[in-house]
Structure 1
Amino acid sequence: MAKVIDWLKQNDKLMFSLEITPPDRGKSVDDILSSIETMMPFDPQFINVTYHQPHVVYEEKDGVITRRPRRKKPGTVGICSAIRNRFQVEPVPHLICGSFNRYETEDTLIDLHFLGIENILALRGDPPPGQPRYIPEKDGHNYAWQLVEQISQLNRGQYIDELEDPFPTHFCIGVAAYPEKHFESPNLEKDLFYLKKKVDMGAEYIITQMFFDFRQYRTFVEKARAIGIQVPIIPGLKPLVSKKQILTIPSLFHVNIPAELVALIEEARTREQEFANGVRFLARLAEQLIDYGVPGIHVFSMGQGRAAKAFLETVFAGKR
C-alpha cells in the first residue's frame, strides 16, 4: 500500500510524515539522508521532497546578454529514488506550476509514473528570488487547481494530444493550504474558495503550511468543512528553536509567531535552552492536535534533523 490516501483511511494509528529540501547545487545529499536515518525509528509513512523554481541570471559575453535559468536546489527526483531505495519509504515529490508549460508538466508526470511514484504534492510555487510576483510560463498553469486538473486528466488517460489507447497514470494528489491564508490572497474566504477548487479537481488530501496556534488550525478546518471540503487536512508543523528563527520565519513563510513562543525563546539564557523551549512548545501544540483527532502530523524538517528528531521523541514515544 503506497498511496497517502490509503494510509489516511486506515485510521488505526497516528500517521507521521516528513518534508525535506534538496541540498544546494554542488553539495552532497549524504547529510540529508543521514538526517532521515535518525528519524526512521518513528516510521514515517511518506517523505515529501520540495522542488524549487529556478531563478534567472543574465550573462554578458562578447557584448551579447543571455538569459539563463539557474536552479539552486536540483535533485528532487533523484532524492525521491534514493529515499525509496535506502529506506523503503514512499517519497512524495513536489510538482509546481512555475517554470513548466503544460507539455513539460506532462513529460515530468510520465517520468514519475515510470519510476513508480504514486503520490504528488501539487503546488503553484513561489516566485523565484528577485521576481516580485508569480508569472506563469507560456502555456503553463497560473493556479495550482489547474495543475491538479491536468494530473487528474492524466489519471483518466487524457493526454494533451489525442493518443490511441492511452495508458492512465495513478497518482494520489495532495495540495497545500494556509490556515492564516496565502499571503497573496485578500482574505481567508477567497483562499478557501481556491482550496475547494483544488479538491473539486481531484486533490485527495491537504497538508497545511506551518502554524503555531491550535486555534488557527481548528478554525481553518471548521471553515473548510463548512464549504464542503471533506478530504483529510494534515497539520504541518516545524520546530522553532532559536532567536534567529523568530526573526526569519515570519517573513519567509508569512506566518504569525505567538507571543508565548516568542517569550519562551527570548527568555532562554543559552542556545540549548532556546532549543528545549521551542521543542516543548511544539510538542504541546501537537498534543492538542492529536486530542482534536488530526489524521496525522507532517513535520517540516528542512535541514533541521536534530530539532525534528527531538520533537518526534517528545510526541511519538509510546504512541505508535
Structure 2
Amino acid sequence: MKVIDLINNTNKTAFSYEILPPLKGTGIEKLYKTIDALQEFDPKYINITTHRSEYVYNDLGNGIFQRNRLRRRPGTVAVAAAIQNKYNITVVPHLLCSGFSEEETEYVLLDLQFLGITDLLVLRGDKAKHESAFTPEKDGHRNAIDLQKQINNFNNGIFVDGSEMQVTNTPFSYGVACYPEKHEESPNIDTDIHWLKQKIELGAEYAVTQLFYDNQKYFDFVNKARNAGITVPIIPGIKPFKRLSHLTMLPKTFKVDLPEELTREVMKCKTDEDCKQVGIEWCIQQCKDLMAHGVPSIHFYSISAVDSIKEVAKAIY
C-alpha cells in the first residue's frame, strides 16, 4: 500500500520515522535495534536517507594530498530492501539530485523497481561540504522539480535517453519536502509556497516538513498552503530537543527558531540529561497539540533520538 493510502486509511494519527543507513563497514544490526525499539507503535512506513559522495583528502607526505571521493553511508537501496523483507513494512528511500547524475538516478529507480519498492521521498539534497552553493552533478538535476520530471517519465515508460521500456511495472509514488520557516535559500515564505505547489502539481502526493519546535509556524504554513490551493497532506516532521548544544546548533544547522518558552526551560538545565527530559516533555505537548488539530501523521527524525522518540510515542500513541 502506498504511503498516501497508509496515511489516509488509518483511523488515528499515523506514526512514521526516518533512519540513517549505517556507516560504511559497520553492519546493519544497530539499525535493526532502532526498528525493534519502535515497532510497538505501529509505524506505517520508514524513511531511509540517501547520502552523496564527498571529497576527502589523504596526506601522501611532503605536502602532497590526494583527493578521493567517498560515500560514508552507502546502501540506501539495500537497507530499504532488507527492512522491507525483515519487517514487512513500507519503506521510503530518499532520492536526491545532490551527487547523482540522471543516469545514476535511473539505475537506482530500476533497482528499486526490481525489489518492489515504489515509494520515494524526492529531494534536491544539501550542497557538498566543499561547495559554497549547491552545484548539480554533470548531467544531474538542479532541483527536485527536475528530478520529479525524470521519475514521471520513468513511470510513463521513458528512459533518460528517450528510449521506451519494453515492460512497465508499478509506478513510483512520492512525497516531497517543505519548510514551515522557509528554505534557507528562499527569499521568502511565499516563494517557498509557490515552488511547493509546483511540486504537488507535478505529482507529489504529500509533503513532509523540516523539523520545527513552534507549532504556530506549522499551522501558519499549512494555512498559506491551503490558500494557495495545495490540498495534499502536509506531515509535520518532529525531532525531540536533546542536548544543551542544540540551543545554538539547531538554529544554525536547520535554520529554525526556538520558541522563547523552550529556550528558557533549556537554559535552566545543568546537564544534557536534564535537557533531554525537557525535550521529551516539550515534544509530547507539541505532538498532542498537532494531533488535536487533526494532523494525519507525525514523522519523527530519529537520528540520535530513538530513546526520546520512544518516550514521546508511549505518551501519545
Q: What TM-score bracket applies, with the shorter chain setting the length?
A: over 0.9
Distance in 2 between residues matched to 1:288 and 1:164, nearest whole Å: 48
Q: How far apart are residue 239 of structure 1 and its match?
A: 0.5
Match of 2:48 in 1: 49
Identity of aligned residues (%): 39
Contact 1:156 1:168 in 2 (8 A): no
Distance in 2 between residues matched to 1:192 and 1:210, nearest whole Å: 17
Distance in 1 between residues matched to 2:90 and 2:165, nearest whole Å: 32
Q: How far apart are residue 165 of structure 1 and its match?
A: 3.6
Which deviates the most, 103-112 or 68-77? Answer: 68-77
Q: What is the DSSP-based 3-state SS (H/G/I as helix, E as strand, rest coil) of the residue aligned with 2:208?
A: strand
Match of 2:252 in 1: 251
Could you tell me which amino acid in structure 2 is paired with residue 81 of structure 1?
Answer: A
Contact 1:8 1:15 in 2 (8 A): yes
Unaligned runs of 5+ in 1: none
Match of 1:228 in 2: 229
Contact 2:176 2:204 in 1 (8 A): yes
Q: Map of 1:302-313 to 2, 5 A cutoff?
A: 302-313=303-314
Q: Map of 1:140-219 to 2, 5 A cutoff?
A: 140-160=140-160, 161-163=162-164, 165-219=166-220
Which deviates the most, 77-86 or 59-68? Answer: 59-68
Contact 1:18 1:48 in 2 (8 A): yes
Distance in 1 between residues matched to 2:13 and 2:142, nearest whole Å: 35
Distance in 2 between residues matched to 1:266 and 1:227, nearest whole Å: 39
Aligned residue pairs, count? 315
Provide Cα deviations, 1:254-310, integer angstroms capped at 9, x if missing partner: 111112112222212444332211101111111111111111000001132111111
Provide Cα deviations, 1:183-205, integer angstroms capped at 9, x if missing partner: 01111111111111111111111
Q: What is the DSSP-based 3-state SS (H/G/I as helix, E as strand, rest coil) of the residue aligned with 1:299?
A: strand
Q: How far apart are residue 38 of structure 1 and its match?
A: 0.8
Match of 1:78 in 2: 78
Distance in 2 between residues matched to 1:164 and 1:116, nearest whole Å: 17
Q: What is the DSSP-based 3-state SS (H/G/I as helix, E as strand, rest coil) of the residue aligned with 1:125?
A: coil
Distance in 1 between residues matched to 2:47 and 2:301, nearest whole Å: 9
Q: Map of 1:1-320 to 2, 5 A cutoff?
A: 2-58=1-57, 67-160=67-160, 161-163=162-164, 165-316=166-317
Contact 1:53 1:127 in 2 (8 A): no
Q: How far apart are residue 65 of structure 1 and its match?
A: 7.4
Contact 2:251 2:257 in 1 (8 A): yes
TM-score by length of 1: 0.93
Distance in 1 between residues matched to 2:163 and 2:212, nearest whole Å: 44
Which deviates the most, 42-51 or 168-177? Answer: 168-177
TM-score by length of 2: 0.94
Could you tell me which amino acid in structure 2 is paired with residue 18 of structure 1?
Answer: Y
Unaligned runs of 5+ in 2: none
Distance in 2 between residues matched to 1:291 and 1:187, nearest whole Å: 29
Which deviates the most, 290-299 or 255-264? Answer: 255-264
Could you tell me which amino acid in structure 2 is paired with residue 37 of structure 1?
Answer: D
Could you tell me which amino acid in structure 2 is paired with residue 88 of structure 1?
Answer: N
Provide Cα deviations, 1:121-163, integer angstroms capped at 9, x if missing partner: 0000001222221101122110101111211221122222222
Distance in 1 between residues matched to 2:214 and 2:135, nearest whole Å: 32
